[in-house]
Structure 1
């Protein structure tokens, strides 16, 4: 069963987090295995499966990045080996990657701070560009172009996350 269907929600990149949590808690009570101890083994197995689905669906949909990945995978847009980041973005990241290499060999606080700031600025720029599309997303009328822009945003965001993870390795040198 698809996660959005399970919670009886429309497919959306932006969700009402409080409503999602309310649905999760309601399902948690509804499918709690302790309430089915006197049922048949088959019914107990079914409830355990529904309880697990409830937890997995909530874990996925309550996290923006996981939700985005889930929707893109469901649409068949994230395919191994076919997730290319636009070259222009990679060219923009060359300076940051070169500065990361410098930090590996010789930590420098001003370079560290500049790279961290550049990554945060790029993240904010990307979010500002995509937010109108995410906010206005309607499953039934979404165009392939919109979905492709969301996919590219997701890939760029993942790329920036890897840079941030690399930066965190330098934090202990401060």
Structure 2
């Protein structure tokens, strides 16, 4: 998605999009929970956490689904482009959490 956005000019290479404080607080809480899960958690707890983050990602998508369709048709307004930048930044945050969860969950399976 990042490549396509840069290709179409939505995001400049290396552009950082500022996120709402409420979202940042939510991500801070998720990261704290992730640390707890990394130290001592049952696989069921990790699965529940992964479902929570996936649900959050789905909710973010639903918020901008119409904006994504408008963008794909080449008819996105400047306001929609701003929403898509925010969506992209939020998804990157959530994907990093999922990647980290996956990394230590798979590491534990090897042990």
**What interval of TM-score do these two structures reach, taking the shorter chain for normalisation?**
0.7 to 0.9
Match of 2:85 in 1: 151
TM-score normalised to structure 2 length: 0.79
**1:139-158 deviation digits (Å, cap 9, x = unpaired):** 2x422111011111111111
Residues 10 and 81, structure 2, Cα contact 8 Å, conserved in 1 = no
Alpha-carbon distance in structure 1 between the residues aligned to 2:40 and 2:4? 41
What stretches of structure 2 of length at least 5 have no aligned partner? none
Report the TM-score, using the length of structure 1 for normalisation.
0.53
- Structure with the bigger RCO (C-alpha within 8 Å, sep 6+) is 2
* Deviations 1:99-138 (CA, angstroms, capped at 9, x unpaired): 1111222233343122111111001101111111111334
2:10 paired with 1:70: no
What's the Cα RMSD here? 2.1
Please identify the structure whose Cα radius of gyration is greater.
1
Tell me the number of residue pairs that the alignment of Structure 1 and Structure 2 aligns: 106
Unaligned runs of 5+ in 1: 1-64
Query: Which ranges of 4 or more aligned residues in structure 1 deviate by more than 6 Å?
Result: none
